Amino acid sequence: MVYVEDGRVIKVRGDADSPISRGWMCVKGINSSNIANHPQRLTVPLKRTGGRGSGSFKKLSWEAAFTEITEKLSALRQCYGTESIVLGQGTGRHHYMHVVRFANALGTPNWYEPGLAQCFIPRITVSNMTYGGFVHADYYNKQAPQCIIFWGHNPLVSSADGELAICVQRAINTGAKTIAVDPRRSDTARKCHMWLPIRPATDAALALAMIHVIIEDKLYDKDFVEQWTTGFDELSAHIKQYTAKWAAQITGITEGDIKDAARIYATNKPAVIDWGVGIEQNVNSLQTVRAIAILRAITGNLDVPGGDILGMHILKAYPTLKEKLPQGISRKRLGVDEFKLLSGFRAYMPSAHIPAIFRAMQTCEPYKISALILFGNNPLLTVANSKKVWQAIRELELFVVSDLFMTPSAYYADYVLPAAFWTEIEHLMGFPLVAENMVFAQPKITQFHDAKQDEFIIDELSRRLQLPGSHMSYREIFDYQLSPLSMTFDELLKIGYYYPEHKYKKYIPDGFRTPSKKVELYSSFLKRLNYAPLPDYIEPPETPVSNPELAKEFPYILITGGRKREFFHSEHRQVEGLRRLSPYPVVELHVKLAKKLGIDDGQWVAVSCRRGEIKMKAKLTENIRHDVVHVEHGWWFPERLNDANSFFESNANVLTCDDAPYDPAFGSYQLRGLLCNIKKF
């Protein structure tokens, strides 16, 4: 519920009639008025007048900005080819699919979002190849889960992908058996009956051992396995080597706890596995996610009330104009030959490999990248190896950023465009993401100066470039998506949302949407692509086990990426009501490790690895493994925007690595489980 006076948002409160929130809101939503009216918001288009990174800009009209940007894009297409233009965007944005559509219409195979290989795409892809569709926890209906495993996920803080924290809390309150797999005892883990403090990036070993226990103890759902799965015999033979004793030595979790967790999950039904990005940010991303996906299937917890359910997909798929890509151009997508499930034609949403993009900017290999156009993305903070990103964007001939505020990345842009906030846009959103069991209509409520909706900006650029599909506005696309429901966007606006009764066991009578019409424990799809059809474990490349020499200099295990309620990645640090709650960048370490190193709570410390060093304030806790150091990500200081050095001072991605080896299918790289050191600053 948005309250407005004189065209300004003055207050936002939860809608008690919402079918999922029922009036609950997170702290960011409550602070919406402070964001919408913030004095540092961008108000008009800006053009750089000094050297790149000088911070010198002049105001521009939208007409002039559109004209100049389209002229330069046309010239760069003519000179270097459309593949030299890269489109980038932030994760979880309203304009996500519209940016993909723009890339296809423009004719470039190179677009990215900082997650993709590192977040969500592995889970979506593996769900599709294993079950024929994406699954999510059933937190919304009468039957509550009897067991929940939170695996590499902290939903009570992150409220990810439409699965709001309040829904998770309600499920916990019903008395479900709860297990958390996480090196940290996060807010969610502290609510759980059992915490498995896993060594970072060894999740595949734990999942394989749990499969072993469930099969050896005959705790699997025999009827479901026999009728609705294929490859169980192959899985049973393959899994014999992955005992709980074997996994205990790798993960640091006791053999007894591994067995107990497997038995609790298998015998308390219906059960869900609520998985997060923690399982994808490693070089064995595909097989880690595959192993966890198999656990759901052999226990029969698929598409049943209170289990992990397949989506209803009540909207038509977004028309991304994939068919408009010029013939043969997809072969030029960066990463296409190496990573078939990220960049190949069989990928769920074919996109470029991020390390290859920024490498090409610097080296012009395999070809020159001339332009980068960003929508709600801040790669200096949100892409691994930040200093390389900084060097790369300085080589661009055209750099355009659309955002709410001047960010470190926008500071280096040629054009900075003022984007509209959520109270200033129209939007159609299916929830949970990818599943689309319900759909909401977001009306435009206010107008802030000359800020424009990103979709409008894209439509204007498309029209001026005379691109395919430019005749169809984003609003007409909303009507197209709603056509299966026989309603228009305007009609949905009147009722707010549409939430049909959920249907379970949708695989009856036609089977699952896989080649075999069954759940594929042994993946024929992966075998055809020359990937292992059954999951396995690979030790990450930078750990005390794989690199003991490096561990002498950097003896602790670094993890990054834990979410904060107050911030969304690198956003909102200039908002006083949020920054006051979390004023400094924080590194968490165990009290025993801190005592050993002479570090006091609240003291500034240096966290270092072989790639660099950052500065953070120490937070001492018992809720973390003794050998693990956790740094918050996304940190910069808006109050020091003119000091470029401040962009790297507390930036977690100064420490992360974008080098090979990569996951062979997705190109995922190691953001968790790296080696580091920590000392008093």
Determine which helix (DSSP H) or strand (DSSP E) holds 155, and give its type and residue range. helix 155-158
How much is the pLDDT for 561? 87
How much is the pLDDT for 542? 94
Identify whether the C-beta of residue 69 lies closer than 8 Å to the C-beta of residue 428.
no
User: What does the CA dihedral 407, 154, 14, 22 come to, rounded to 10 degrees?
Assistant: 160
Domain ranges of the chain: 2-115+316-498, 135-310, 548-680
Please say if the pLDDT value at position 162 is more than 80.
no
pLDDT band, very low/low/confident/very high, at 343 (cuts 50, 70, 90): very high
> Which amino acid is it at 167?
C
Task: For 279-322, write each residue's pLDDT tens digit.
Answer: 999 999 999 999 999 999 999 999 999 999 999 999 999 999 99
Q: What is the CATH number of domain 2-115+316-498?
A: 3.40.50.740
Q: What is the average pLDDT across 166-194? A: 96
pLDDT band, very low/low/confident/very high, at 373 (cuts 50, 70, 90): very high
Query: Which is it for the CA torsion 489, 493, 494, 499, positive or negative?
Result: positive
The greatest distance separating any two alpha carbons of the chain, rounded to the nearest whole angstrom, comes to: 70
Please say if the pLDDT value at position 363 is more than 80.
yes
Please say if the pLDDT value at position 10 is more than 90.
yes
How much is the pLDDT for 92? 82
pLDDT band, very low/low/confident/very high, at 115 (cuts 50, 70, 90): confident
Q: What is the average pLDDT across 159-163? A: 83
Query: Which is it for the CA torsion 405, 407, 410, 412, positive or negative?
Result: positive
Average pLDDT, the chain: 96
pLDDT band, very low/low/confident/very high, at 143 (cuts 50, 70, 90): very high
Please say if the pLDDT value at position 456 is more than 90.
yes
d(CA 231, CA 246): 23
How much is the pLDDT for 163? 80
How much is the pLDDT for 583? 97
d(CA 443, CA 482): 16
* Percent of the chain residues past pLDDT 90, beyond the cut: 96
Nearest to 519 by CA among 223, 227, 228: 228
Q: What is the CATH number of domain 548-680?
A: 2.40.40.20
d(CA 566, CA 574): 11
**This prediction's pTM:** 0.96
Q: What is the average pLDDT across 108-129? A: 94
Q: What is the CATH number of domain 135-310?
A: 3.40.228.10
Task: For 389-404, write each residue's pLDDT tens digit.
Answer: 999 999 999 999 999 9
Nearest to 655 by CA among 643, 679, 680, 673: 673
How much is the pLDDT for 524? 92
Say which residues have a Cβ less than 8 Å from residue 625's Cβ, sequence separation at least 6: 183, 184, 197, 199, 252, 557, 590
Task: For 505-564, write each residue's pLDDT tens digit.
Answer: 999 989 999 999 999 999 999 999 999 999 999 999 999 999 999 999 999 999 998 889
How much is the pLDDT for 319? 97
Please say if the pLDDT value at position 368 is more than 80.
yes
Say which residues have a Cβ less than 8 Å from residue 384's Cβ, sequence separation at least 6: 354, 355, 653, 656, 657, 658, 669, 671
Please say if the pLDDT value at position 367 is more than 80.
yes
> Which amino acid is it at 186?
S
- Residues 563, 569, 575: CA angle, nearest 5 degrees: 105
How much is the pLDDT for 91? 87
